[in-house]
Chain A
Amino acid sequence: MKVCLISPPTVEEFGERMVGESEALSLIAQHAPMGILSLAAVLEQHGVETEIVDLNRLYHKYINSSESQHRIDFCAYASDALEPVVADVFGFSTICSSYPLTLRMARAVRATHPDAFIVLGGPQASVVDVATLQAFPNVDLIVRGEAEQTFPIVLESLSTNAGRLALINGVTFRRGTEIIRRPNAAVIEDLDSLPPPAFHLYPHIKDCSYAPVEAGRGCPFACSFCSTNDFFRRRFRMKSPHVLVSQMKQIKETYGIESFDLIHDMFTVDRKKVLAFCDAVQQSGEELYWSCSARTDCVDDELISRMADAGCDGLFFGIDTGSEAMQDAIQKRLDVNEAALMVKSANQHSVKTTVSLITGFPEETKDDLRATIRFLGDSLRYEGSDIQLHLLCPLAETPITSRYRDQLTYDDIFSDISFQGWEQNPEEREMIKAHRDLFPNFYAVPTRWLNRQYLRELREFLLHGILRHLWLMVLLHRDSNDLVSVFDEWQIWSDKERRIASVLDTSRGYYSNDAFSHDLLRFVRTSYATSSGKYPHLLRTMVRVEELQLTLIKGQPEASQRSARRRCVIESMETVPILARDAHLTLVPADYRKLIRCLKRNTPLDLIRDEQVALVLMREKDKIKTIQLSRPTYELMSLCDGSRNVLQISDDLSLFGELEVSPQKASIFGLASLAQKGLIEVRNVAV
């Protein structure tokens, strides 16, 4: 028997090539499909020949193909790729966001391989099994929950006696017109008994900068929006430290990868086990770097320090809401203040953090939203933090979805809570509309106190604002202590200032475009700073710098000219110094260096005076430097406008009487040091 295992696509329908080629997509595509590789390893132990198809990889290939440019649908492209595959069983792993696509592909495979047996597994099919089999006759069987023990028995039954399927726990299948749903299978208690993933079946592993390693399964908590409990049954299990470290070492030796993603819904539930793992890593003597998920109430400063010492370089914190009331409502029950301390602690230990927040809960009020956005604002200043804000997505069979099952609405505002693209294929949209129970994640729960269109735009405003103007957003947060009210002002301003032919563009396309940057800076400069801003001089300083940075982003880096300039020498008094081509000189009304320092350290802004400070901004290859200048440096650079030679600059310098240095010496010294730093270039006059 031969089996073809197909991973669920976690990227799909990114409608634009530019997006398809983005770093994020390529990183996602680098991620080895651990679920099917783990299953493949088990099947190999049972002597089953297995082929792996990674739809993320295929999508990456597709997005750069002529088919994509001719708007040929990915499903058709992927189905063509699967057509030559010879297999008796096709097994699709499923997740919620790409479930419509998976079902379309199952239909395509049925058409090209009419005799093959089509099996679905994974989290989405596991919870919508009966409805799937009822609605999609091309699917033969669904393996629910952990498949490593169940799937080999299914294959054996198919080879010997299909009648035995009715005796296997953990499966749902069709017998004639009847759907048979067997009881759940037991979870796998001894995860150490599972073989390591079959990375040898995945040649792309050599291109990956990191490898996933399953650390364990099951989260004992019961958050009302989370879907993992149905799959792993809340039974917390962890692999032994020596097994984990041994797998990591083996991957490092075989593929040269020393960076690992420890896959576990909640790695830090058992402190002793985490410490034992840290000890095992350190005792191994290997340089191994790893990241994991954690709850902020399952770590403390000491534990984070130990984890960092053992190579932990990333922590995912699902904080989810900054409101104490909502923490209770969603049964997350984190102490928000403690959560903030743990984010700070991780950053102090140089562990990068992901701070993930959600809005759009049914009971959420605007005050709850403000609390969440305040948490977001407080976390922005940590340079190692990746801030996420999601719209709530009703995942199938979660408590929140079950409660609002009859009130779900399809409003075209999609959450990115799981993997979600920008566009939905028209055929998939029809499937989604026809089968709410199968695809609830594309629907919305009612939000009594909050308008979802408002939340969608707030999210675009904040995330794109952070992406483009991080320190401006940090300053707006500090200035207002309420980014939601800043957004409200932005909406009012936009309504007056941004309408074109009476249309106001609030789309993601607008917010992801430079037009948003220009408008945001104009809004802060002309409206917010003058009407609401507590620190107008700081806001004007920040806006000025951001405006110049935007200009430099637009320009092309001049690397070759930069290296030539570094060799510039002032040959004579006739030499004409000119401000470097990609340098912008400006005066701002506050000490920018001090401002950035205060924002990073969260220290009071009141002490930063209203005073003129000189800056020069320059682009060097892929970096933009903002350099603060002393007043004499600024005076000197201001004279480098190409109309004066060194001698004339010396004559025009006004500042050096008090230094008791001759103007010529002062100007030549200053110009030489500016030339060395690449801030000016020179035009020497041939004698």
Chain B
Amino acid sequence: MAPKTHKIHTQVPIELALTPAEMAKLKKAYTTSTAQVLKARKSDEPAPVTQQNIGFGSSARKRKKRPTSKKKR
């Protein structure tokens, strides 16, 4: 029986279909890995507005940065 082949996601001729061994080699060769994802700040972002938790009116400062996701408990 002929080895099973994998058609890659293109519309080029079927003869380019890959054997599992070729597919494995190419997958190993063409790796990409995300090193970092940053939230893009606005250009020329204004100065950080920070306040100290000394005395009063401190609560709003504490809430300056809110977590964006909720933990599951």
Contacts and interface: CB of A to CB of B under 8 A. Distances in A.
Interface string B23-45: 10110011111111111111111
Interface string A105-126: 0000000000000000011100
A235 B12 CA distance: 79
B4 interface: no
Interface in A541-599: 545, 549, 552-554, 557, 569-573, 592-593, 596
A8 B32 contact: no
Contacts of B22: 661, 665
A333 interface: no
A256 interface: no
A412 B41 CA distance: 30
Contacts of A393: 52, 54
B12 A418 contact: no
B64 A210 contact: no
Contacts of B64: 24, 27-28, 386
Contact of A316 (B31, B34, B56, B62): B62
Contact of B54 (A34, A227, A471, A671): A227
Interface residues on B, range: 35 or more
Interface in A500-530: 508, 511-514
Interface string A208-235: 0110100000000000011110010000
Contacts of A56: 60
Q: From DSSP, what is the main secondary structure of chain A's interface residues?
A: mixed
B57 A95 contact: yes
B48 interface: yes
Contact of A10 (B26, B41, B57, B66): B57
Nearest to B18: A665
Nearest to A513: B44
A552 B40 contact: yes
Contacts of B39: 622-624
A390 B11 CA distance: 61
Contacts of A263: 59
Given A123-B56, A419-B57, A632-B30, 8 more contacts: A31-B59, A95-B55, A354-B53, A463-B50, A596-B35, A661-B22, A670-B29, A671-B10
26 contacts: A22-B45, A31-B59, A31-B60, A34-B59, A95-B57, A96-B56, A209-B66, A289-B71, A293-B53, A316-B58, A318-B52, A352-B65, A388-B52, A417-B54, A418-B56, A418-B58, A553-B40, A622-B39, A627-B35, A633-B29, A660-B25, A661-B22, A668-B12, A668-B16, A669-B30, A671-B10
